[in-house]
Amino acid sequence: MYISENLQKLVDSLARFPGIGKKTAQRLAWHLLSEDKSFALELSEIIKTSVEAFKPCTKCLMLSESDPCPICCATNRSPESLCIVETSADIQIIENMNEYQGLYFVLGHLLSPIDGYGPREINAERLTQRVAELNPKEIILALKPSAEGEATIHYVWELFKDHDISITRLSTGLPFGGDLEYSSSNTLRSAWDRRFRV
């Protein structure tokens, strides 16, 4: 079947979303082209506005419309606990538990030398600076249980093992290789409550 260059670009772009395969991308592309075009144009404007509005917080690297972000600015957040996550989306998931009142740091990636993600790409230097600023009593490693997650957990532990900081990680309950975003609140809360020292 012939597919125009513009349609192929749209399909390829949509397929870059996590969890979206080629067939789903094709369905979405045809839907955008077939339905009321005002919806697609409005969506493109919303995407443009949002992408331009969100920038990394200079303190925690969470994507935010303000700098510092609302969490870093909040007076009721405790600097004694620093939760390290892979992405900004992970923060929203943890916040939905309504249990954690500390601060965050977003790595941006997990260590994966094969994919070109080393200490620089996970903002290790910025993390070290942030820990020095806050001097937290606990670092919580809320990273997905995968080979890359385990490598990152070990690396962060090596960075701060000689500091007077309790370094903990989420307990079992999260499936190996799974993402935080696909875990139920109860599963995540259980893993959070039963976190243990690295």
Statement to judge: residues 60 and 48 lie in one domain: no
Do 47 and 60 fall into the same domain? no
Tell me the per-residue pLDDT of 142-180, one tens digit each, with 9 for 90 and over.
998 888 999 999 999 999 999 999 999 987 654 545 555
Q: What is the pLDDT of residues 46-55, one digit of tens each?
A: 999 999 999 9
The pTM of this model reads 0.80
Asked which of 53, 76, 92 is the last residue of a domain, the reply is 53
Residues 61 and 20 in one domain: no
Q: Is the pLDDT of residue 38 over 80?
A: yes
Exposure of 47 by Cβ count < 10 A (0-12 exposed, 13-18 middle, 19+ buried)? exposed
Q: Give the per-residue pLDDT at 181.
A: 57
Same domain, 91 and 161: yes
Answer yes or no: is pLDDT of 14 > 80.
Answer: yes
Query: Does one domain contain both 60 and 105?
Result: yes
Q: Looking at 117-121, 122-126, 186-190, which range is the least confident one? A: 186-190
**Chain segment 47-104, per-residue pLDDT in tens:** 999 999 999 999 999 999 999 999 999 999 999 999 999 999 999 989 998 889 999 9
**What does the pLDDT average to over 106-131?**
95
Residues 68 and 105 in one domain: yes
Is 119 found in the same domain as 47? no
Contact between 14 and 25 (Cβ < 8 Å): yes
Kindly report the CATH number assigned to the domain that includes residue 118.
Answer: 3.40.1360.10
Mark whether 25 and 87 lie in a shared domain. Answer: no
Structural domains of the chain, count: 2
196-197: strand order across its sheet: 102-106, 78-85, 138-141, 166-169, 196-197
Say yes or no: 159 and 78 in one domain.
yes
Give the CATH number for residue 18: 1.10.8.420
Q: Please check the confidence at residue 197 and state whether its pLDDT lies above 80.
A: no
Domain range for 136 is 56-197
Same domain? 66 vs 22:
no
* Judgement on whether residues 97 and 133 belong to the same structural domain of the protein: yes
Q: Is 146 found in the same domain as 135?
A: yes
Q: What is the largest CA-CA distance in the chain?
A: 63
